[in-house]
Structure formats: structure tokens, C-alpha cells
């Protein structure tokens, strides 16, 4: 089974090897009066010849300083993750503060730039808190130990007689603040990797920060206009640019450019053709002006004759036809096996009763509200890229190819992201800005208009999935085969993230198939991931909030309902029967401890809250449907049950979600208020994609380019919501994405319950339902 952790570790290892860095041990030293808490380099912790402070001061190593304590007691936590609405800095700082026994009011955060010492920089996959939990908790604990030791010496007592609380080392009535300790004696301590791993984290009952209420650090600046996003950056002498995108993503080129009308725009300077050795910008132009408005208006006035790339003729229907062909006869030529348990094909062949269904999803836009942009300045041969970005390490790599300079000559400076949702995992938008700055020899700020942004968007690939399952006479599931065809984001952007198949040889994009490896016991099981190459001819398929589970859950959770109906069973009871915490579904400590039992528990709780028992007594044309998800990946399961009640208008086919009930078990909540915001936002994203979003690719671009045609959920479309987290002290898992996946299948199942029509294509449009009625 593919593990995203392993893939990320492999990417990180490759990255670190190239730079000669391994993160062993933990180094606490004092530099310029400030205590630095750093993960050291290989051998650092064991190098007896130098003190930690000597190593730090000499710059002999390039340590990754995760946090520092100043003589004023201020604890500065370095944040390597993108702040895009998930309040990640607050969660990560809470991890440190908990074990450090810091005073929360003394915590400050700094969002770091793309210095390679931070390792592979990526914010996605709902990974941040889960993956940071142990390292940052241990880093905090190591700091506390060092502070207690130093503090005890200053107090003239035995460290064993001391404890730390709210930024002070305390022994009986005497105490000393962290800042005073740092100011008076500094800190000097190293921990080997082994010692670090042996540190016992605080018992759950003694937690004072994790799981408690409290605000997010980034909120105050976001209510008074002070928060700075990429779009807000200004640098001296910068020119403004707007890209002119060719009619297709690949293979177009401008034949002639007439800027005579553009010249009438005050502030217009020139139009340049971008020469991109990296191949990101094929046939692009950039309009250069003195200000944003002039760049926008001049680009509109530009007359360009294009030679179009071949993909101009490929439509979404062509893409989906290819997808249908792939799932009809999946093969190793176009992907591979993601799950293979028992002889699913054999059982299906011999089965008396087979439920065979095909599900589709259409293209979905990120539509992060801040259009992509970047400001680029070159100084003494070093390129400074100012923007909000979710995968700095990849962007730097792309920029190095485009600018034909070494990666060491590029630094990305991070800002608040006006929405990420996976869009800014791909730094393609930084490339044209850098190329323009290079061509002009001046700083350039390039801003995409909304339609520009949509045309460059790495949209969520359309998908086609076929599920076939065999039932015996008693309604027991004997076997299930699932084939999913879509564009593969990792293949398009970051092939290092491709995963091994479960067979010898071959790769699959786990991000495009995760979710199909669900926790239901369906007997023999086979899952095929198929790469739809037509997608890749037309655009770059992207990671969009929840990625693959966004479509696999749509199919799996409807299919389970279809099986329940075929078996004559209640869909929720049927699910409970398929969830057994045994064998591969038993779960593993610490990440998936409890296994399928925890999914069962959230379902039971959601059924109680939603009044599932009264499901058969609902008014006419009102239905109740359920769907479950385990989030992004089996290795990091977030257990979620969602029940929706819908009302169908038979006159026009409109579906109204009246009530949405969700119970989630995400283990320990580092920042409960932020967790609730993520759950709520992700569920509404799910609702938005289910009923209000979706577009189709054609003529080289998405049909809907702006809000006049693309219609994400608005306030009046928000249903009544009843959300609950399970009180759990298990390992924290992901929260940004899991909620997005369950709402659409729950709605489809509810519509079936309400009016007997099964909608297998997402988005679910009123016209389709009306036609089916």
C-alpha cells in the first residue's frame, strides 16, 4: 500500500542527499544572546569537540533553527508551511509551546523563505500538523529540558526538583523566567537522535495548550487590512506586467502582434514574447506597463494572431470518452494496481449478481480568490521571488530551469496566500514573472486577471470510474473491482511523488487513486489507477483540495449505497456491517489506531445526531443519505461520517440541502477552533463542488472563466449544519481536506432516497435530475 509519508521521505531524502544534509540530533546553543533550538547536521550532536554554541556561531553547520528564545523571553517559532487559511502557524507553534511549557503570549512566528536548509518545502496533503507533531513536540520538550537544567543551576537547586510552566522554571516558591535564563547563562545542550526519540511527551492529562480554545495568530492582521499577500508586494522600480496566454497550454505560438491600440493606453510600455527554456510558458506574451490597470487594459487591446496548438480541438467529452475506454479495460500500459487482494476478477466472473456502475466528475477550478501573481527582483545575480506558494522547493526547481541559473541563486519569499487549495502547489505562475524581469532587466510584478488565472489553473482533472461488485444471495459482498481514470497531478508536476504499484514495477499516482483503498471489507478487492493521457495533452492536472479522494469517494460511497439497495439493506446499517477492525482494517498505532472501529464510531454518532432512525418517515421528496471517508490516505486516516437531508423540487430538479450532520475523529486537535473552521469550510467546499461548481474543458481552456459562469457556494446556499469532533487524544491527523469528499456522495445517496433517481455525474445539475424524473 502506498504511503504518502514514504513518498515524501523519499523526495526529502533525494533533496537532502544532494545538499549533504541529514537531520540528526538536536542542537541547543546560544548565539548573540539568543537561544537557538535547531535540528543539527549529521554528526553534529555527537561532535564532542565543539559546543553547540561554537558550532552555531562559527556557522560551521547550517542548522535548521526551528525556534529561538530571546533574552526578553520571546519565543520565535519558524514556520516552513504556507499560511493559506488553515492557521497552520498557530497549530505548529502550539505543538512547540505545549512541550516547551511556554507562555503563549510570548510566542511569535516567522514564515521563512525557501532556504534549502529547511528541507523539502511543501504545504499540502493535510500533512502539516500530523507530520510536525512528533518533531516539533520533541523540539519543544528538548528546550524545556535544557531550560530546566540551566534554570536549576541558577536557582541553586536540583533539576529534578524543578518543573516548567508558562515560560518559567519553578522550584517551590522560587522561579526564573526563560528570558532571564537565556540572558544570564545561555543554553548549551545537544541531544542525539536517539535521545530525542526517547523523550517522553507529556501525558495527555497534563496538556495545557493542545486541544484548548484560543485564537489564531494570523487573525488580527486579517481584519484591518494589514495582512500582506503576494499581490500586495511592491519593490523599487518595478514594472507591472500582465501575461497574454496563448490559445492552448501547449504548442501555441504568436504569429503576429499588433499593439497599436494598446499604445493608446496611458502607461503602456511594450509587449514582450517570453522565451522559456523550461517549457512552462509556451508561446506566451507579457504586456508591460507602469501600473496594473494599464497592463490589464493594454493586454485587452492587444491584437494577436496565434498558431494554435493541436490540443485546441480536444474537448472534455473527448477526455471523458478516453476515461471510459480506460476503465472498461484497465491495463498496465496506462497505470497499475493500487490494491490487489484475493482473486477479485475470478469471483466477479463467477458471481451470480454483479452491481456495475460508472461515475464521473467534471473539471473543477481552484478559484482561490487571490489570482496568481509574483514579483521578481534580481540583485547581484540572485533572484528574489515574492509570492505566496505551497511548494517552494518545486517552484525553485522550475525557476532554475527557466532562468538557467543554479537553484542556489533563487529565493522564494513567502507571504500570506489568498487561498491555496492546492493551486499554489504548482509555481508555474512565478515563471513568466521571472522571465519578464530577466528580459527587461528590471523588477517586475506580474498579476494575472481572473480569466488569466483560470486559464492557467491546474484544474482538478475530470474523472471516470467504474466499480463492479459481486453479491451472494444473502447480500454479502464477495468481491469488488474499482478502476479510476483521470489526469495524474504528480505525473504532470512532481514525478518524484509517484508511488510504486502493489505489483513489481510500474508507478501510480496515489494522489489520483487514494480513497479507493477504503476500510470496508468487500472480500476480494482490486483497484486500478489509470492515467488519462488525453488530459495531459490539454492541461496540467492539479492537486485540488482532497485531490483523488475528491472523486474516488464520490464513486465508492455511492457504490456502497447501490450495493446496500441491491442487498435490501439500510445503507448505514450495511456500512456498519462492512466495517470490521480486523486484518488489514485493524489499524496501526499510532496513526490509524482503532482502524475501522473508529469509522464505525463516527457513523453511529452521526446517525444518532441526524435522526437516521426516522429516515423512513420523511416528507415526500425529502431524503437522507450518508457517506463516509477516511480522509486523504490510509496511513493518516481522518474518520468522517456525513449525513445530509435534501429536498428535491420535482418541478425544476433543484436539490436543496436542508441539513448537514458531520462527525469527525481527527485525533488530538492542536487548535480546535481552527480545526472546526477547516471542517466547516471543507464540507462547504464539498457541497459547492457537488451542486454549484464544475466546468468543462474545450478550445484550450475551461468554459467558465469567471464568476459570471462559475458559481461557487454563497451564503444563502449554506445549509443548517451540525458538526462534532470526537474527543480523542490519538495522533493528530489531517483536517484541511477530508470534509470535502463526503458531501457529494451523501447528497447523491439522499437524492436517491428522496426520489429514486441515482445521479452518477458530478456536479449534480438540476437539469439532469429533472430529465431523470
Partner 1 sequence: MASFTLNGEPVSVEVSPQTPLLWVLRDHLGMTGTKFGCGIAQCGACTVHLDGAATRTCVLPVSAAEGAEVVTIEGLSENADHPLQQAWREHQVPQCGYCQSGQIMQAADFLSRNADPSDEEVTEAMAGNLCRCMAYRRIHRAVKRAAEITQAREADTAGVGIFDPTRAQEVTHGQV
- Restricted to residues 450-469, the positions that interact with partner 1 (CB under 8 A) are 450
**Minimum CB distance to partner 1 smaller for 39 or for 367:** 367
Piece of the chain touching partner 1 by CB under 8 A; list 436-444, 526-534, 614-622, 709-717: 709-717
C-alpha 270/C-alpha 219 separation (Å) is 40
Piece of the chain touching partner 1 by CB under 8 A; list 405-413, 431-439, 584-592, 669-677: 669-677
Site for partner 1 in 56-85 (CB under 8 A): 84-85
Q: Provide the minimum distance between the beta carbon of 415 and partner 1 in the complex, in angstroms, as a whole number.
A: 11
- When binding is defined by CB under 8 A, the residue of 231, 280, 555, 640 that contacts partner 1 is 231
320 binds partner 1 (CB under 8 A): no
**Minimum CB distance to partner 1 smaller for 415 or for 528:** 415
543 binds partner 1 (CB under 8 A): no
260 binds partner 1 (CB under 8 A): no
Site for partner 1 in 394-423 (CB under 8 A): 416-421
C-alpha 682/C-alpha 472 separation (Å) is 37
C-alpha 99/C-alpha 124 separation (Å) is 25
Q: Residues near 377 by Cβ (< 8 Å), separated by ≥ 6?
A: 235, 238, 383, 384, 386, 437, 443
- When binding is defined by CB under 8 A, the residue of 46, 706, 756, 772 that contacts partner 1 is 706
Site for partner 1 in 361-380 (CB under 8 A): 367-371
Q: In angstroms, how far is CA 770 from the centroid of its own chain?
A: 35
50 binds partner 1 (CB under 8 A): no
**Number of other residues whose CB lies within 10 A of the CB of residue 205:** 6
658 binds partner 1 (CB under 8 A): no
Cis ω for the linkage preceding 79 (within 30 of 0): no
- When binding is defined by CB under 8 A, the residue of 18, 204, 707, 772 that contacts partner 1 is 707
**Minimum CB distance to partner 1 smaller for 284 or for 421:** 421
725 binds partner 1 (CB under 8 A): yes
173 binds partner 1 (CB under 8 A): no
**Minimum CB distance to partner 1 smaller for 33 or for 220:** 220
C-alpha 20/C-alpha 39 separation (Å) is 14
Site for partner 1 in 100-159 (CB under 8 A): none
Pull the grid cell for residue 729.
487524544
Q: Residues near 663 by Cβ (< 8 Å), separated by ≥ 6?
A: 602, 603, 605, 606, 609, 640, 641, 723, 724, 725, 726
Q: Residues near 14 by Cβ (< 8 Å), separated by ≥ 6?
A: 496
Range list of β-strands (E), 608-762: 622-629, 639-648, 655-665, 697-698, 701-702, 720-725, 761-762
**Minimum CB distance to partner 1 smaller for 32 or for 223:** 223
The closest of 393, 388, 461 to 429, measured between CA atoms, is 388
Site string for partner 1, 178-217 (x = CB under 8 A): -----------------------------------xxxx-
**Minimum CB distance to partner 1 smaller for 98 or for 537:** 98
Contact 209, 98 (CB under 8 A): yes
Piece of the chain touching partner 1 by CB under 8 A; list 145-153, 618-626, 722-730, 751-759: 722-730
Task: Tell me whether strands 524-531 and 477-486 are parallel, antiparallel or unpaired.
Answer: parallel
223 binds partner 1 (CB under 8 A): yes
Q: Provide the minimum distance between the beta carbon of 280 and partner 1 in the complex, in angstroms, as a whole number.
A: 24
267 binds partner 1 (CB under 8 A): yes
- When binding is defined by CB under 8 A, the residue of 154, 325, 676, 773 that contacts partner 1 is 676
689 binds partner 1 (CB under 8 A): no
Q: At what angle do helices 392-403 and 430-440 cross, to 10 degrees?
A: 30
**Minimum CB distance to partner 1 smaller for 400 or for 447:** 447
- When binding is defined by CB under 8 A, the residue of 1, 154, 227, 325 that contacts partner 1 is 227
Q: Provide the minimum distance between the beta carbon of 610 and partner 1 in the complex, in angstroms, as a whole number.
A: 14
Site for partner 1 in 433-452 (CB under 8 A): 447, 449-450
C-alpha 392/C-alpha 379 separation (Å) is 20
- When binding is defined by CB under 8 A, the residue of 5, 118, 229, 358 that contacts partner 1 is 229
C-alpha 375/C-alpha 576 separation (Å) is 53
723 binds partner 1 (CB under 8 A): yes
Q: Provide the minimum distance between the beta carbon of 169 and partner 1 in the complex, in angstroms, as a whole number.
A: 29
Q: Provide the minimum distance between the beta carbon of 180 and partner 1 in the complex, in angstroms, as a whole number.
A: 31
CA distances (Å), 608 to each of 349, 574, 657, in order?
Answer: 39, 16, 19
**Minimum CB distance to partner 1 smaller for 49 or for 224:** 224
CA atoms 512, 514, 515, 520: torsion sign? positive
Contact 415, 363 (CB under 8 A): no
472 binds partner 1 (CB under 8 A): no
- When binding is defined by CB under 8 A, the residue of 23, 87, 130, 647 that contacts partner 1 is 87
One-letter-per-residue 3-state SS of 614-656: HHHHCCCCEEEEEEEECCCCCCCCCEEEEEEEEEECCCCCCEE
Amino acid at each position: 500500500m502506498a504511503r504518502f509519508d514514504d513518498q515524501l521521505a523519499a523526495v526529502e531524502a533525494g533533496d537532502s542527499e544532494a545538499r549533504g544534509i541529514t537531520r540528526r540530533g538536536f542542537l541547543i546553543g546560544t548565539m548573540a544572546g539568543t537561544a537557538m533550538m535547531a535540528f543539527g547536521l549529521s554528526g553534529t550532536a555527537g561532535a564532542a569537540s565543539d559546543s553547540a554554541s561554537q558550532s552555531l556561531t562559527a556557522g560551521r553547520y547550517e542548522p535548521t533553527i526551528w525556534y529561538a528564545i530571546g533574552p526578553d523571553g520571546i519565543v520565535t517559532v519558524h514556520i516552513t508551511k504556507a499560511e493559506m487559511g488553515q492557521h497552520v502557524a498557530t497549530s505548529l507553534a502550539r505543538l512547540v509551546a505545549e512541550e516547551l511549557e511556554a507562555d503563549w503570549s510570548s510566542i511569535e512566528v516567522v514564515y521563512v523563505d525557501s532556504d534549502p536548509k529547511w528541507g523539502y518545502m511543501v504545504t499540502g496533503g493535510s500533512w502539516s500538523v500530523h507530520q510536525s507533531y512528533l518533531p516539533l513536540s520533541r523540539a519543544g520538550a528538548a528546550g524545556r529540558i535544557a531550560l530546566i537544567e540551566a534554570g536549576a543551576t541558577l536557582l541553586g537547586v536540583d533539576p529534578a526538583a524543578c518543573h516548567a510552566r508558562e515560560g518559567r522554571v519553578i522550584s517551590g516558591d522560587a522561579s526564573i523566567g526563560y528570558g532571564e535564563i537565556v540572558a544570564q547563562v545561555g543554553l548549551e545542550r545537544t541531544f542525539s537522535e536517539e535521545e530525542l526519540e526517547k523523550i517522553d511527551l507529556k501525558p495527555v492529562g497534563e496538556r495545557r495548550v493542545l486541544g484548548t480554545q484560543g485564537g489564531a495568530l494570523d487573525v488580527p492582521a486579517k481584519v484591518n487590512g494589514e495582512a500582506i499577500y503576494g499581490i500586495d508586494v511592491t519593490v523599487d522600480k518595478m514594472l507591472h506586467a500582465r501575461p497574454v496566454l496563448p490559445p492552448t497550454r501547449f504548442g501555441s505560438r504568436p504569429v503576429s502582434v499588433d499593439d497599436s491600440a494598446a499604445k493608446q493606453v496611458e502607461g503602456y510600455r511594450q509587449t514582450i514574447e517570453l522565451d522559456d527554456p523550461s517549457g512552462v510558458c509556451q508561446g506566451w506574451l507579457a504586456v508591460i506597463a507602469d501600473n496594473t490597470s494599464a497592463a490589464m487594459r493594454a493586454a485587452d487591446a492587444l491584437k494577436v494572431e496565434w498558431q494554435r496548438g493541436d490540443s485546441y480541438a480536444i474537448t472534455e467529452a473527448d477526455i471523458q470518452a478516453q476515461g471510459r475506454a480506460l476503465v472498461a479495460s484497465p491495463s498496465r500500459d496506462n497505470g497499475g494496481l493500487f490494491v490487489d487482494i484475493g482473486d477479485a476478477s475470478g469471483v466477479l466472473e463467477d458471481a451470480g449478481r454483479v452491481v456495475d456502475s460508472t461515475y464521473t466528475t467534471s473539471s473543477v477550478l481552484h478559484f482561490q480568490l487571490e489570482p496568481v501573481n509574483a514579483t521578481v527582483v534580481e540583485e547581484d545575480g540572485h533572484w528574489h521571488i515574492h509570492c505566496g506558494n505551497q511548494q517552494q522547493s518545486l517552484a525553485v526547481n522550475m525557476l532554475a530551469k527557466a532562468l538557467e541559473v543554479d537553484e542556489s541563486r533563487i529565493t522564494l519569499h513567502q507571504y500570506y496566500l489568498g487561498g491555496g487549495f492546492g493551486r499554489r502547489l504548482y509555481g508555474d505562475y512565478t515563471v513568466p514573472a521571472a522571465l519578464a524581469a530577466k528580459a527587461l532587466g528590471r523588477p517586475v510584478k506580474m498579476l494575472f486577471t481572473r480569466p488569466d488565472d483560470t486559464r492557467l489553473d491546474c484544474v482538478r482533472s475530470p474523472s471516470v470510474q467504474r466499480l463492479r461488485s459481486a453479491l451472494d444471495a444473502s447480500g454479502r459482498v464477495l468481491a469488488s473491482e474499482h478502476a479510476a481514470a483521470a489526469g495524474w497531478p504528480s505525473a504532470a508536476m512532481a514525478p518524484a511523488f509517484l508511488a510504486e504499484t502493489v505489483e513489481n514495477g510500474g508507478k501510480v499516482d496515489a494522489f489520483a487513486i487514494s480513497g479507493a483503498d477504503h476500510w470496508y471489507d468487500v472480500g476480494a478487492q482490486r483497484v486500478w489507477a489509470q492515467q488519462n493521457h488525453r488530459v495531459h495533452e490539454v492541461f496540467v492536472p492539479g492537486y485540488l483540495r482532497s485531490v483523488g479522494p475528491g472523486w474516488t469517494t464520490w464513486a465508492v460511497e455511492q457504490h456502497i449505497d447501490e450495493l446496500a439497495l441491491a442487498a435490501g439493506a439500510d445503507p448505514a446499517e450495511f456500512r456498519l456491517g462492512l466495517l470490521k477492525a480486523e486484518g488489514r482494517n485493524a489499524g496501526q498505532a499510532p496513526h490509524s489506531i482503532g482502524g475501522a472501529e473508529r469509522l464505525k464510531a463516527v457513523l453511529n454518532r452521526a446517525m444518532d445526531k441526524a435522526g437516521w432512525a426516522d429516515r423512513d418517515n420523511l416528507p415526500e421528496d425529502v431524503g437522507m443519505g450518508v457517506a463516509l471517508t477516511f480522509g486523504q490516505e490510509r496511513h493518516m486516516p481522518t474518520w468522517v461520517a456525513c449525513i445530509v437531508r435534501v429536498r428535491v423540487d420535482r418541478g425544476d430538479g433543484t436539490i436543496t440541502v436542508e441539513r448537514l450532520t458531520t462527525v469527525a475523529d481527527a485525533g488530538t486537535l492542536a487548535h480546535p477552533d481552527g480545526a472546526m473552521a477547516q471542517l466547516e469550510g471543507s464540507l462547504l467546499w464539498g457541497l459547492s463542488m457537488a451542486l454549484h461548481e464544475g466546468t468543462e474543458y474545450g478550445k484550450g481552456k475551461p468554459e467558465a472563466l469567471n464568476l459570471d459562469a462559475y458559481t461557487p457556494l454563497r451564503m444563502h446556499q449554506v445549509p443548517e449544519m451540525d458538526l462534532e469532533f470526537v474527543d480523542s487524544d490519538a495522533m493528530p491527523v489531517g483536517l484541511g481536506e477530508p470534509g470535502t469528499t463526503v458531501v457529494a456522495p451523501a447528497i447523491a445517496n439522499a437524492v436517491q432516497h428522496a426520489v429514486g433517481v441515482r445521479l452518477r455525474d458530478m456536479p449534480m445539475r438540476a437539469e439532469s435530475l429533472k430529465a431523470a424524473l
